[in-house]
Structure 1
């Protein structure tokens, strides 16, 4: 079974790029410090392990929301979609 995952993080500047790279391996980057996508349970656990290894529990915050299916999520975007910006090579 796949879950729709939403990750939002606020980490110290020295770890931002590490967290960003890990999240982008598994999820779509939709906005600064926000990633979403569908993952199997096994892949989700792998993501959490990688994030835990680079996170400082005393300084960083990573919030993960799981939704059983993307069909339950209704997404509305006002303005530019971050993925469009990436695909066009702007960022």
Structure 2
């Protein structure tokens, strides 16, 4: 599956959340990562994030695409990272 993760977490947890997500996905830009991931790895990612974030203060959103066949990516402005990946 292809997953896009977008997060908004407290300043003290930003580095931890980014480090966890980068183990599984590719950093695209501030608070956004994407990539192919297995079901098992996705479960591990969510478990690690659940232990790190404060659910009463933080937000993590997962966009899950079963296939990228009908998707397209378009970017404007400066390229921050992961731009070589095209879905």
Give the TM-score normalised by structure 2. 0.87
**Which string of whole-angstrom CA distances, capped at 9 and with x for unpartnered residues, describes residues 44-72 of structure 1?**
10110111110101110001110001223
Q: Greater helix percent: which structure?
A: 1
Aligned counterparts of 2:34 and 2:81: Cα–Cα separation in 1: 11
Query: How far 1:73 sits from its partner (Å)?
Result: 1.9
Query: How far 1:80 sits from its partner (Å)?
Result: 2.9
Query: Which secondary structure state, in structure 2, belongs to the residue aligned with residue 26 of structure 1?
Result: coil
Query: Aligned ranges for residues 10-29 of structure 1 at < 5 Å?
Result: 10-29=8-27
**RMSD over aligned Cα atoms:** 1.5
Q: Which segments of 5 or more consecutive residues in structure 2 lack a partner in the other structure?
A: none
| Structure 1 residue ranges (4+ consecutive) displaced by more than 6 angstroms after TM superposition | none
Q: Which segments of 5 or more consecutive residues in structure 1 lack a partner in the other structure?
A: 86-91
Aligned counterparts of 2:4 and 2:64: Cα–Cα separation in 1: 7
Give the TM-score normalised by structure 1. 0.84
